[in-house]
Amino acid sequence: MNKFQRVSFHTYDDFFDFLPAGEQKLVEILRNLVYENIPDVREKISYNVPFYSRFRRICYIWPSVIPWGGLKPGSGVALGFTKGKTLQSDYLTGGKGKEVRFRLFASIHEIDRPLLADLLLEATVIDASERE
C-alpha cells in the first residue's frame, strides 16, 4: 500500500475479488477480449490494475472503484490504450498523458466487441512496429 491508494494488489485474483459485481463482469469481458485478440499477451498488475503487453505496454483495464485513476467512483470500467493517440479511431477519448486514450463502459451492452477487437489488433501492430 502507498500513500495514494488504500489498496494494494499483487495478483489478478486479488484485484478481481476486490471489485463490485458489476465491475467484475465488465472486467471479465474486457480481459477476455484482450486475450482473444492479442497473441502472446502478458498480464501484469501495475498501479493496482491489469496492464497487457507484448514488447511494451499495449492496454490496461481500469475499474472506477480503483482510486486515483481519474474515474468517478461507480462510473464503470475503462479500457485504455497506452498508444491510443496513434490509433485510427474517434471511439476513444483522452486520458492522462500525451498518448493514452480510453473508453469507459458503464454496462456490458456498451461494449462493441468487433470495434474493440480491431483496436486491439491495431495496437498490437503498433507495438510490434516499435520493436523494430
Residues 41 and 86: their CA atoms lie apart, in Å, by 20
Residue 95: predicted pLDDT = 65
Residue 1 has pLDDT above 50, yes or no: no
**Residues 64-70, mean pLDDT to the nearest whole number:** 82
Q: Three cell numbers at 90?
A: 474517434
Angle between helices 113-131 and 21-37 (to 10 degrees): 50
Residue 5 has pLDDT above 60, yes or no: no
Residue 2 has pLDDT above 50, yes or no: no
More confident residue, 108 or 7: 108
81-123 pLDDT per residue, tens: 999 999 988 899 876 668 899 999 999 999 999 999 999 999 9
Q: Does residue 27 contact residue 38 with C-beta atoms inside 8 Å?
A: no
Residue 4 has pLDDT above 70, yes or no: no
Residue 70: predicted pLDDT = 77
Rounded to whole angstroms, what are the CA distances from 65 to 28, 53, 80, 118, 124?
15, 23, 16, 27, 28
Residues 121 and 110: their CA atoms lie apart, in Å, by 20
Q: Does residue 63 contact residue 23 with C-beta atoms inside 8 Å?
A: yes
16-49 pLDDT per residue, tens: 999 999 999 999 999 999 999 998 999 999 999 9
- What is the residue extent of each domain of the chain? 12-131
